[in-house]
Structure formats: C-alpha cells, structure tokens
C-alpha cells in the first residue's frame, strides 16, 4: 500500500501509451527489431572474418615457430597451434557462410560518440601518470555529459565536480590507494 | 544429521556482520542495476571485481552473487512500468507486465513477480543444497580426461546457446583460448605470445579482460545506443497481490521454479532462457492462451520465478564441477581464482564454510530483496530518474580507477581500455564477448588437463573414448556440434515455413 508520488507528466504518459497501444508480443518484437541500429552488410562480415583469419594465421605461424612436438611430448606451440587452426577454419567458414548474416551493426553518425569516448579514455590513461587523475577525470566527465549526453552546462559542471571530489575522497582519502593524484 | 552440520555452519558464516553487510550491498547494487537499463549484471560484476580483492573469498562471492540474483528482481520493475526490460531475463515480463500496469495493476504485477522470484529463488537454493553435494561427490573421481571433455563441452554449449551467429560465438571462444595461452607455458616454462613484453610474461590477468570486455565495452556500446529517456512511471499502488491473483499465478510459480532450476543447471542455460521457456510453457498450458499479451498474471509470475530459480541453480555447475555455465558464472570463477580458491568438486569438502556460506547467503539475500521489492519498491522507481548521460562517465571512471587499484599499475588500466575497444568492436560486429571470457577462464584448465591426459594415454587421442564418462561427454560434444548443421540443412529443404516465433526474435534483440 505504498503509493509512489506521481510526477506531473501524466498527459505525456497518456499520449505515449495511446500511441503504442495494445501491442501483441509479436508486434512489440517487430517494433524492437525496427528500433535496432541498422544492420551492416556483407562488407562488415568480410572485414571481421578477415581480421579473424589474420589473427588465426599469425597465431599459426607463431605456434609453429614455438615448436609443435608430438601429442605424447608436446612442445609449447602445439595447443596454440590447434586453437589457431580451429580459428582459421571458423574464419573461412564465416567469410563464406556469413555473407548474408545481418547480425553486425553499421557504423552511423551515432558511432562518433563511442569514438569520442574512446579518445577521452585513452587521453586519460596517457595523462594520469603525468598530472594525476583529477583534471583528466573532470574533463572526461564534462565531455561525456555535455557533448555525448546532452546535459545542460549547469548540471554537467555540478555533477562532474562532485564526481571527481567523491572519487578523490574514496580512492585517495578513504582507501589510501596509490592512484596518481595532483592535489 | 552429519550432512546438516556444515549447512548450519554455513549460516554462522552468513550471519557474521561483514558478510551480512556485503550481502546487503550486493543485492542493493543488483536491484539498482536491474532497474537501470544499460548495464547488465555481468558488466557490473566485472567493473566491481577490484572491490573483492581485499575481502575474504566468501564475502566477495556473497556480494557478487547478490548482484546477480538481485538484478533479476530489479529488471522486472522497468519491464512492468516502462515496457523497457532492465535485464535480458526480464524481456518476456514486458508483454503481460506492462499490460497489467496499463490496467492499473502495476502493483499486482510487481508483487507477483517479487513473490514468484522469492519462491523460485528459495526453491532453487533448497535444490542446490541437496543436489550440489551429490554432483560434487560424483565428480570427485573425475580425472584430466573427464575435465578435458567437460571443459570442451561447456565452452561449446555456451557458444551454441548464445544469441546470434554460432560460428562467431565459437570464434570468440577460440580467441579466448588463445589469449589464455599468453605467458609462460606451465609445462615447459617457455614464453608464448609475449613479444618480449615483461608485463605479459605471467600471462594476461582475468580482471582487466573482464573489466574491458564486459564493463568498458558495454559502456562504450551504450553511448551509441541512446536509451529512450525513462518516462515518468505510472502509479504503483497496492503491491500486495490479492488472494485471487495469487491463486491464479500459483501454478505458474510452481512450474517456473522447477523449469528454471533445471534450465539454470545446463551449461549455456541461465536466467534469460529460463524466463522465455517459462513464458512459452505458460502460454501453451493456458486454457485461454489469447489472454497472454493482454495482462495475464501467469505471464509475469512464471518467467520471473523461472529467471530467479535459474540464476540460483546456475551456481551448481560452478561450485561442484568448476565449470561455469554462463558468462556471469565465468566472472564468479575468475573472482574465486583471484582469491586463491579453485572451484571444483573438492570445494564442498575442503572449503565448506565458503560453499555453504555462499549458498545460505542466498536465503538472506532473497529475503532482503523481497523486502526491497514490496514495501520499498517506490524508492527504486525513483532511481529511474537518474539519467544515462550522468551514469556513463561515472561507471567509466570507476572502471579505470578500479583497474588501477588491482596491482597499482597503469599497465592494467591500458589493458582495460584495449579490451574495452575489442569488446565494443565485437558487439558492433555481432560477436558475443561471453564465450570469449568463459573460454579464457577455462583455457588453462583445458590445456593442462588435455596435455596430462595425453601423457597418460601415451599420445593417443582415442584414449579419451576409452573412459566411460569422458567418452559420453565427447559424444554429447559431437552431437551438439553437428546437430545444428543437420538441422540447418533440413530447414533449408523446407524453407517455406515462416515459423519465426516471437521469442526467437526477442532473443536477437537482447
């Protein structure tokens, strides 16, 4: 018997519910299917299969170089050799049989978000040993919230600052870890 | 009564204040991430692995287990209120749960789900209590050949049952096995795939791989997929279901408990499959199947019961055979290894406090979750207002700083970012990271037992078929490997059957 306080957004909910009315499970599944990011084509499959093949072949070569030996007295390379052969076989199979698969996703304009995220993460890893974690973490928070997440400047700055202060408190003051820090 | 002694001692372990606290922390975190769409239990457990370094093994696993089954409770809330499944295992709850919410019975749906989850979870713990020691004593005679066969079968099953392309899942598994060979060869001491890098000489740690692939990979992937902003949830009143509702759902809860328990034990099974199977079964059994999708209480109670039962019973293969049945269990396996505990048949005998402590903590955890999901559900509904844009950088920073604290080294942080990229790209190209992590965890066991067996057999691989258990397991292995190929060929022959069930489509979505 615990009523949850209702926000004044009632009309919006109503409208939304009306628009998405009474979907059967099948229709709902179809709707989800539509909302999925666009599928990538045969090129993506070829590219990923070739990467798999490349890794597999490189591993085969390196394993052979380590020496195979016999099943009774194996050299270090035998087990990696077996796996990498399986990998090459699977890569070839995928290259040919997976041409019409639609389980890969296209890179779209939205993909710039994870790319930006990655760049900030890499920058943070590079800068942390030099200037400590506080400033890179602050910049990362601001970029992720303001530019990737579309928060307002005010919310971004308040939350970012509190996050960094909280992490300083937890990791440096409370736990006393040796994380590189500036202050 | 001798059998019960360690069980009772297990309760003593759980009731230690530290363990109770960590149990509470675990289930609260589980509930939270269950409510928040985006991060799943596997990602959360991966990100929080560094937290477990400084605590006792039993405490660590109690917390991680709490996250896992807590997420099953939490996932229901968003499914019912917002038609957004918080967890993959709550997808089918959306169909009837949301309809019930629209009819003003959101409270009833949540209450039924919570009660069902509690019953399913508790039934599975009782099953676990009795079944696990039997399985473990059976497996005590397992030698290297049996372990080789078991590990191979486990990896194959997880790869075949996973969503999407099976070939891709197997490729991921092969990559995991390959990564496991990096470092010193345990038999000859030679360095493999280290490229002269000293930091790779001891091999790649499990934690950076898990944190990168599951944690950072998922965070990056979610940056791209803008989650629709959570709308204001509809009113939740009267979470206590009426006697009539309970009566209507009791059959579904009973069946869900049993079904979930058994599907959870199977390698590759687990909460998601259990909930879907339960929904399908309830619909098939119902006298008026057309009620399903329009707010049938059984459609909520059954799947929610089953996913909790499965989440609990999937601990059985891990704790008794040392073979993780799914990706989340692979993380538990890794966490135990970090603590210097090797899960396996000897665990019940040699480490009864750990075994029974973890098992019995689930009773406490389920009670805590029942309390949180019935009277306190309103608090968790409010959490939905936390926006993904704020959550993403916080989780990313926790991951990076946490990775640093493992060994106080930037190398681990770099590895996490590298595997984060790999994980993101894998998801983009349709490769599941689960089989990779599982294969990585089992890689060393698989290689060493295979080489030991071959030594015993004098290099003759047919020796594996000379022992009844390993022979049986390998026959199953071949069947599992070949069956889809045959079925695929048969399906091609009569390609005109458009029998695409809703469940299989949903599976692809998740």
pLDDT in tens, B454-482: 888 888 888 888 888 888 888 888 888 88
* Interface A:B, Cβ pairs < 8 A: 236
Per residue in B224-265, pLDDT (tens digit) is 865 555 555 556 666 778 888 888 888 999 999 999 999 888
**Contact of B238 with B375, CB cutoff 8 Å:** no
For testing the chain A interface, which of B174, B421, B454 should be mutated: the one with the most A CBs within 10 Å? B174
Comparison of pLDDT for B381 and A113, the residue scoring more: A113
Averaged confidence pLDDT in chain A: 81
pLDDT in the model for residue B421: 94
Averaged confidence pLDDT in chain B: 84
The mean-pLDDT minimum among A15-29, B23-37, B205-219 falls in A15-29
Quick one: pLDDT band at residue B138, thresholds 50, 70, 90?
confident
Q: Which residue has the tokens 């960094």?
A: A164
Residues B110, B118: Cα–Cα separation, whole Å: 12
Residues A118, A123: Cα–Cα separation, whole Å: 8
Per residue in B337-376, pLDDT (tens digit) is 888 888 888 888 888 888 888 888 988 998 998 888 888 8
Provide the token pair at B179. Answer: 């990564």
Residues B510, B507: Cα–Cα separation, whole Å: 5
The alpha-carbon gap from B156 to the nearest alpha carbon of chain A, in Å, equals 13
CA nearest B222 in A: which residue? A114
Q: Which of A3, A91, A98 sits opposite B165 (nearest CB)?
A: A98
Q: Do A83 and B178 touch (CB under 8 A)?
A: yes
- A17 Cβ contact list (under 8 Å, min separation 6): B102
Quick one: pLDDT band at residue B305, thresholds 50, 70, 90?
very high
Q: What is the 3-state secondary structure (H, E, C) of B45-73?
A: HHHHHHHHCCCCHHHHHHHHHHHHHHHHH
Burial level of B237, CB count in 10 A (0-12/13-18/19+)?
middle
The alpha-carbon gap from B336 to the nearest alpha carbon of chain A, in Å, equals 23
Residues A163, A134: Cα–Cα separation, whole Å: 10
Q: Which residue has the tokens 């059976």?
A: B138
Residues B348, B129: Cα–Cα separation, whole Å: 11
Per residue in A136-151, pLDDT (tens digit) is 999 999 999 888 888 8
Collapsed DSSP state (helix, strand, coil) of residue B119: helix
CA nearest A128 in B: which residue? B410
The alpha-carbon gap from A83 to the nearest alpha carbon of chain B, in Å, equals 6
Collapsed DSSP state (helix, strand, coil) of residue B184: strand
Contacts of A70 in chain B (CB under 8 A): 459
pLDDT in the model for residue B234: 55
Quick one: pLDDT band at residue A14, thresholds 50, 70, 90?
very low
- B493 pLDDT exceeds 80? no
The mean-pLDDT minimum among A21-35, B21-35, B36-50, B199-213 falls in A21-35
Average pLDDT of the residues in B184-209: 84
Q: What is the DSSP letter of A174?
A: I
- Angle among Cα B509, B70, A163 to the nearest 5 degrees reads 85
E strand intervals along B109-192: 183-184, 191-192
Long-range contacts, stretch A52-58, CB < 8 angstroms, 24+ apart? A52/A87, A52/A90, A52/A91, A52/A94, A52/B171, A52/B175, A53/A88, A53/A91, A53/A92, A53/A95, A55/A87, A55/B175, A55/B178, A56/A84, A56/A85, A56/A87, A56/A88, A56/A90, A56/A91, A56/B174, A57/A84, A57/A88
Contacts of A76 in chain B (CB under 8 A): 185, 187-188, 190, 192
**Contact of B77 with B377, CB cutoff 8 Å:** yes
Residues A82, A75: Cα–Cα separation, whole Å: 12
Quick one: pLDDT band at residue B397, thresholds 50, 70, 90?
very high
Q: Which of A9, A29, A52 sits opposite B232 (nearest CB)?
A: A9
What's the half-sphere exposure (Cβ side, CA atoms, 13 Å) at A77? 13
pLDDT in the model for residue B63: 93
**Contact of B339 with B52, CB cutoff 8 Å:** yes
Average pLDDT of the residues in A157-173: 91
Average pLDDT of the residues in B65-79: 85
Give the distance, in angstroms, between the CA of residue B433 and the centroid of all CA atoms in the same chain.
Answer: 13
Give the distance, in angstroms, between the CA of residue B250 and the centroid of all CA atoms in the same chain.
Answer: 26
Per residue in A26-56, pLDDT (tens digit) is 777 777 766 677 777 788 888 889 999 999 9
Quick one: pLDDT band at residue B2, thresholds 50, 70, 90?
low
Q: Do A177 and B408 touch (CB under 8 A)?
A: yes
Alpha-carbon distances of B26 from B21, B34, B255, rounded to whole Å: 9, 12, 28
What are residue B125's DSSP bridge partners?
Answer: none
Buried b (16+ CB within 10 A) or exposed e, B176-209: bbbbbbbbbbebeeebbbbeeeeebeebbbbbbb
- B487 pLDDT exceeds 80? no
Average pLDDT of the residues in B423-447: 89
Buried b (16+ CB within 10 A) or exposed e, A71-94: beebbbbbbbbbbbbbbbbbbeeb
Collapsed DSSP state (helix, strand, coil) of residue B412: helix
Q: Do A114 and B387 touch (CB under 8 A)?
A: no
pLDDT in the model for residue A19: 43
Q: Do A74 and B293 touch (CB under 8 A)?
A: no
Contacts of A44 in chain B (CB under 8 A): 429
Q: Do B223 and A70 touch (CB under 8 A)?
A: no
Buried b (16+ CB within 10 A) or exposed e, B351-376: bbbbbbbbbbbbbbbbebbbebbbee
CA nearest B290 in A: which residue? A24
Alpha-carbon distances of B27 from B7, B107, B185, B428, rounded to whole Å: 22, 21, 40, 31
């Amino acid at each position: 018997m615990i009523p949850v306080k209702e926000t004044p957004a009632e009309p919006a909910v109503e409208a939304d519910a009306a628009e998405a009315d009474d979907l059967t499970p099948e229709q709902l599944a179809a709707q989800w299917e539509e909302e999925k990011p666009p599928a990538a084509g045969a090129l993506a499959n070829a590219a990923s299969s070739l990467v798999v093949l490349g890794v597999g072949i490189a591993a085969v070569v390196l394993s052979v170089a380590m020496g195979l030996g016999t099943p009774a007295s194996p050299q270090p390379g035998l087990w990696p050799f077996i796996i990498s052969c399986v990998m090459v076989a699977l890569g070839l199979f995928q290259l040919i049989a997976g041409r019409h698969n639609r389980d890969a996703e296209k890179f779209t304009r939205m993909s710039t978000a994870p790319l930006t995220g990655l760049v900030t993460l890499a920058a943070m890893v590079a800068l942390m040993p030099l200037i400590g974690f506080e400033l890179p973490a602050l910049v990362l928070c601001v970029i992720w919230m303001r530019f990737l997440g579309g928060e307002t400047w005010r919310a971004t700055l308040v939350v970012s600052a509190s996050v960094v202060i909280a992490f300083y408190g937890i990791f440096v003051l409370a736990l006393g870890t040796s994380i590189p820090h500036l202050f | 009564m001798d059998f019960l002694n360690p069980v009772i001692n297990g309760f003593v372990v759980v009731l230690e204040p530290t363990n109770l606290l960590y149990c509470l922390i675990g289930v609260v975190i589980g509930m939270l991430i269950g409510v928040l769409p985006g991060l799943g239990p596997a990602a959360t457990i991966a990100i929080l692995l560094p937290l477990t370094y400084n605590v006792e093994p039993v405490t660590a696993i109690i917390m991680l287990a709490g996250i896992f089954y807590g997420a099953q409770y939490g996932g229901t809330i968003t499914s019912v209120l917002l038609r957004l499944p918080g967890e993959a295992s709550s997808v089918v709850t959306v169909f009837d749960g949301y309809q019930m919410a629209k009819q003003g019975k959101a409270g009833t749906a949540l209450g039924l789900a919570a009660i069902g989850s509690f019953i399913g979870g508790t039934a599975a713990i009782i099953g676990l209590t009795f079944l696990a020691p039997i399985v473990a004593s059976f497996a005590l005679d397992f030698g290297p050949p049996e372990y080789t066969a078991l590990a191979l079968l486990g990896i194959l099953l997880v790869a075949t049952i996973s969503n999407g392309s099976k070939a891709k899942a197997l490729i991921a598994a092969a990559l995991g096995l390959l990564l496991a060979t990096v470092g010193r060869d345990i038999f000859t001491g030679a360095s493999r795939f280290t490229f002269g890098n000293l930091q790779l000489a001891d091999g790649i740690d499990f934690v950076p791989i898990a944190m990168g692939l599951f944690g950072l990979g998922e965070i990056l992937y979610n940056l791209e997929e803008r989650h629709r902003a959570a709308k204001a949830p509809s009113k939740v009143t009267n979470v206590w279901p009426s006697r009539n509702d309970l009566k209507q759902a009791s059959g579904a809860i009973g069946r869900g408990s049993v079904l979930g328990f058994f599907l959870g034990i199977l390698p590759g099974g687990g909460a998601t499959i259990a909930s879907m199977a339960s929904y399908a079964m309830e619909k098939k059994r119902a006298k008026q199947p057309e009620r399903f999708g329009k707010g049938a209480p059984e459609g909520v109670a059954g799947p929610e019961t089953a996913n909790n039962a499965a989440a609990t019973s999937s601990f059985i293969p891990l704790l008794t055979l040392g073979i993780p049945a799914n990706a989340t269990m692979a993380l538990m396996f890794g966490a135990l290894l970090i603590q210097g505990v090797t899960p396996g048949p000897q665990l019940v005998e040699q480490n009864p406090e750990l075994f029974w402590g973890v098992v019995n903590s689930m009773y406490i955890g389920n009670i805590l979750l029942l309390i949180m999901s019935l009277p306190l559900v309103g608090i968790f509904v409010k959490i939905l207002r936390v926006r993904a844009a704020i959550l993403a950088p916080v989780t990313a920073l926790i991951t990076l700083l946490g990775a640093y604290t493992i060994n106080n080294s930037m190398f681990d942080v770099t590895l996490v970012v590298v595997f984060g990229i790999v994980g993101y790209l894998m998801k983009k190209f349709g490769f599941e990271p689960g089989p990779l992590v599982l294969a990585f965890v089992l890689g060393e066991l698989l290689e060493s037992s295979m080489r030991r067996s071959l030594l015993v057999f004098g290099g003759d691989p047919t020796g594996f078929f000379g022992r009844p258990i390993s022979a049986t397991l390998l026959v199953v292995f071949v069947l599992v490997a070949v069956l889809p190929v045959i079925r695929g060929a048969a399906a091609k022959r009569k390609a005109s059957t458009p029998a695409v069930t809703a469940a299989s489509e949903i599976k692809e979505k998740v």
